[in-house]
Amino acid sequence: MTDWHQRESYSYDRNVIAEIRRAANTGIYRIRGWGAKRELPTLDDLVLLGASMSRYPLEGYREACGTDLTIGAETAENPISLDIPITIAGMSFGSLSANAKEALGRGANAAGTSTTTGDGGMTPEERTHSATLVYQYLPSRYGMNPDDLRKADAIEVVVGQGAKPGGGGMLMGQKITERVGEMRDLPVGIDQRSACRHPDWTGPDDLAIKIIELREIVDWKVPVYVKVGAARPYYDTALAVKAGADAVVVDGMQGGTAATQDVFIEHVGIPTIAAIPEAVRALKDLGVHRGRVKLIAAGGIRSGADVAKALALGADATSIGTAALIAIGDNDPAYDDEYRQLGSAAGVWEDFQAGTDPAGITTQDPTLSSRLDPVIGGRRLANYLQVLTLETQTLARACGKSHVTNLEPEDLAALTVEAAAMAKVPLAGTSWIPGET
Amino acid sequence: MTVFDMAEVSLRELNQALHDATDGEFEVVNPRGAHAVASGIDSEISVTIDGPVGYYCAGMHQRGSVQVNGNASAGLAENIMSGTVRITGSATMSAGATGHGGLVVIEGNAGARCGISMKGVDIVVGGNVGHMTAFMAQSGNLVVLGDAGADLGDSLYEANLFIRGSVESLGADCVEKELRPEHIETLRQLLAAAGMDADPTDFTRYGSARTLYNFHIDDIDAELAGGAS
């Protein structure tokens, strides 16, 4: 008997079959954390064109290569000053343990960058442990408090998130403890499904007024960002600028989440490599690129190479979430046995919604949370951020740049036709940009 | 009484003065529909605004009181934390949105989404309210002396909605509930605080059926395994 009829289906591989069986058993869509896991065009599809005869590199280990960034200098009494072009993305207390939030704050402080609150408001501990803290202003307004708004170093109006543009957040009942429920004014144990749109404004004209209100309430002291999930980045960025944002955060579909539908994570939004050039085009059309309005690119930023390429495409900074969690201990192989007991394994754990994280990061369980030493976690994050920065500088110097934001599309080439079309840089070895040349 | 004439004073100057004040009475004239008037108040001051205001009047209000002698546009007293905001006219959409505490009194009508995502605020409306009123309302009390539009209390949590007139339709998971003595007492106090003359027993209470609080998850495999054992 031949086994040709036993081959695995491409369309119905084992993961697809398992998901159909799971759906048939439970009657509920798959909810999980992390970001898109399927193969997508990424910044790996680009390469930097280091200097040679026609370009002059900077001395790699010695010559200065600036990494600093200021946001809101033209509108805010107290602009944000960052030492490195890598920020920590919004992640809530509730989705993360208090120790995880503390570790993020400690690491960011050491590296000279900012952290960001999340759905659920600001905790006193978070404010204490983050020297530069961006306060997210979300559709749910859970925990929204003007006292906290005034304590923030910047305000980020969240319109959307890369993992779920057009969707609201989730926090499953296992993680709605008494403290989390009290902060959000929700009954303990409910499956929280956050609003997907703001309750008191409906479009960009309204948003412009909302931003004025926010600035008035904080007496124009701090910058205001607008965060969008990458879907239509040209228009979203243009409208955010029109509304008065000091910075636009564009979050590609690789961006992570604490919990949402798998179908949302994998099938809504566009990859970061495609989003950045469109956002930059909007900023250039409005005459604010590398000027009054900064662009922060997020979604799948993992290395200094990703940072350098994002900056070369025109971003002013990047933001990391998933990578920061990994740095402080998420998916730690030391807990592999426990991950396996949960039906997963170190390296593929994605059930951030479950509250059972053996590493003590995406949980509210006090026993599990206590496993994460926030001081050690902070040191790990600081080290990781240092590596990202050093890598970015190394690559920028190789391209002859004395500041990382001097990187430009001319420093890039694409390895695939798709990447060339999305990033709007030439296919390597050619001068061809699909759709443009 | 300190008077600010918005024909001569900018919004920034007005709000900064109100933020800097720790007590006292203030009057604002010629608001001419300006946005964010008296937003961010955080002290026991009393502000009277003579004329119509735009979006987000008394936004994120804390302590003190604001009275608008006129109408207001969207987001009146949005995210109010405490204190009182009163308007003699009508308010458009999202009045009292996400309010965490305090009292909002609208003597006229309120538009769509009044009390959306309210988180502890008390809102009293002398007239009617529009569609999607109290959408996702989490806690607090909404009192409407007139009628309510379509989809009242859709996806409601623990807020109480008291409607004296008709309701065009109820939203998902919003149901009529018994008006018990404690609710009548709450109503009596809120009506008194709002200066509204109405009989608490004339109101119907609406609240959450709580059927949407958790996902309904089947587990056929476990059921079969249990049956076999």
Alpha carbon of A151: minimum distance to chain B alpha carbons (Å): 14
Flag if B74 and A186 touch (Cβ within 8 Å).
no
pLDDT tens sequence across A309-319: 999 999 999 99
Inter-chain contact A201–B139, Cβ cutoff 8 Å? no
| A402 has pLDDT over 70 | yes
Mean pLDDT of A258-277: 96
Q: What is the mean pLDDT of chain A?
A: 95
- Which chain B residues are Cβ-neighbours of A146 within 8 angstroms? 40, 42, 60, 62, 79, 81
Q: State the nearest Cα–Cα gap between B13 and chain A, in angstroms.
A: 10
CB contact under 8 A, B219 and A25: yes
Sign of the four-CA dihedral A392, A396, A402, A406: negative
A positions 129-148 inside 8 Å of B (CB): 140-141, 144-147
Q: What is the pLDDT of residues B69-89, one digit of tens each?
A: 999 999 999 999 999 999 999
Residue with tokens 């798998």: A262
With contacts defined as CB-CB under 8 Å, which chain A residues touch B213?
Answer: 187, 190-191
Q: How far is A175 from chain B (nearest CA, A)?
A: 13
- Chain B partners within 8 Å of A32 (Cβ): none
Q: Model ipTM?
A: 0.96
Q: How many residues does chain B have?
A: 229
Domain span holding position B36: 2-228
In this structure, what token pair is assigned to residue A8? 């695995």
More confident residue, A172 or A273: A273
State how far residue B191 is from chain A, nearest Cα, in angstroms.
Answer: 25
Instruction: Give the Cα separation of B102 and B84 in Å (integer).
Output: 6
Q: For residue B94, list chain A residues with Cβ-Cβ distance below 8 A.
A: 199-200
Whether A59 and chain B come into contact, CB under 8 Å, resolves to no
Q: Are B42 and A144 within 8 A, CB to CB?
A: no
Tell me the C-alpha distance between A57 and A139, whole Å: 47
Task: State the pLDDT at residue A2.
Answer: 62
For residue A186, which residues of chain B lie inside 8 Å, CB to CB?
A: 138, 157
Q: Which chain B residues are Cβ-neighbours of A140 within 8 angstroms?
A: 117
**Percentage of residues in chain A having pLDDT higher than 90:** 87
- More confident call, A393 vs A170: A393
Of A27, A206, A213, the CB nearest to B218: A27
pLDDT at site B227: 63
Q: What is the pLDDT of residue A172?
A: 82
Instruction: Give the tens place of pLDDT for each residue, A404-423.
Output: 999 999 999 999 999 999 99
Over residues B160-177, mean pLDDT: 98
pLDDT computed for residue A174 by the predictor: 81
Q: Determine the Cα–Cα distance for residues A10 and A25; give it in Å rounded to an integer.
A: 23
Query: Are B117 and A199 a contacting pair at CB < 8 A?
Result: yes
Give the C-alpha separation, A79 to B105, whole Å. 38
Proportion of chain B above pLDDT 90, given as a percent: 97
Q: Is A196 on the interface with B (CB under 8 A)?
A: no
Across the interface, whether the CB atoms of A185 and B74 are under 8 A apart is answered no
Across the interface, whether the CB atoms of A206 and B119 are under 8 A apart is answered no
Q: B167 forms bridges with which residues in the sheet?
A: B148
Q: What is the mean pLDDT of residues A322-346?
A: 97
Q: With beta carbons less than 8 A apart as the criterion, state whether B136 and B155 touch.
A: yes
pLDDT value at residue A3:
66
The reply to whether residue A213 touches residue B39, judged by beta carbons under 8 angstroms, is: yes
Which CATH number fits the domain that encloses residue B189? 2.160.20.60
Tally the domains of chain B: 1
Contact at CB, B220 and A185, closer than 8 angstroms: no
User: Quick one: pLDDT at residue B229?
Assistant: 45
At residue A175, the pLDDT reads 81
Round to whole Å and give the CA distance between A404 and A69.
Answer: 10
pLDDT at A300 over 70: yes
Residue of B nearest to A24 (CA): B220
Arithmetic mean of pLDDT, B55-67: 98
The residue of chain B with its CA nearest to that of A211 is: B36
At residue B65, does pLDDT exceed 60? yes
A401 in contact with chain B, both atoms CB, cutoff 8 A? no
Confidence of residue A254 (pLDDT cuts 50, 70, 90): very high
Question: pLDDT tens digit string along A342-378?
Answer: 999 999 999 999 999 999 999 999 999 999 999 999 9
Where do the structural domains in chain A lie, given as residue ranges? Answer: 30-405
Residue type, B185: E
Superfamily for the A30-405 domain: Aldolase class I (3.20.20.70)
Q: How far apart are CA A279 and CA A289, in angstroms?
A: 10
Helix (H), strand (E), coil (C) string for chain B: CEEEECCCCCHHHHHHHHHHCCEEEEEEECCCCCCCCCCCCECEEEEEEECCECCCCCCCCECCEEEEECCECCCCCCCCCCCEEEECCCECCCCCCCCCCCEEEECCCECCCCCCCCEEEEEEECCCECCCCCCCCCEEEEEECCCECCCECCCCCCCEEEECCCECCECCCEEEECCCHHHHHHHHHHHHHHCCCCCHHHCEEEEECCCCCCCCCCCHHHHHHHHHC
| Partner residue opposite A199 with nearest CB, options B19, B60, B116 | B116
For A54, phi then psi, to 5°, come to -90, -10
CB contact under 8 A, A212 and B158: no
Q: How far is B139 from chain A (nearest CA, A)?
A: 7
Query: Which residues are A93's β-sheet partners?
Result: A96
Structure confidence by residue, pLDDT tens digits, A12-38: 999 999 999 999 999 999 999 999 999
Closest in A185, A189, A191 to B138, CB measured: A185
pLDDT of residue B9: 98
A interface mutation test: which of B60, B114, B139, B154 has the most A CBs within 10 A? Answer: B60
Answer whether residue A1 shows pLDDT above 70. Answer: no
- Burial status of residue A314 (CB atoms within 10 A of its CB: 0-12, 13-18, 19 or more): buried
Cβ of A200 within 8 Å of Cβ of B93? The answer is yes
Among the partner-chain residues B60, B119, B135, the one whose CB lies closest to the CB of A185 is B119
- Rounded distance, CA B89 to CA B66, Å? 14
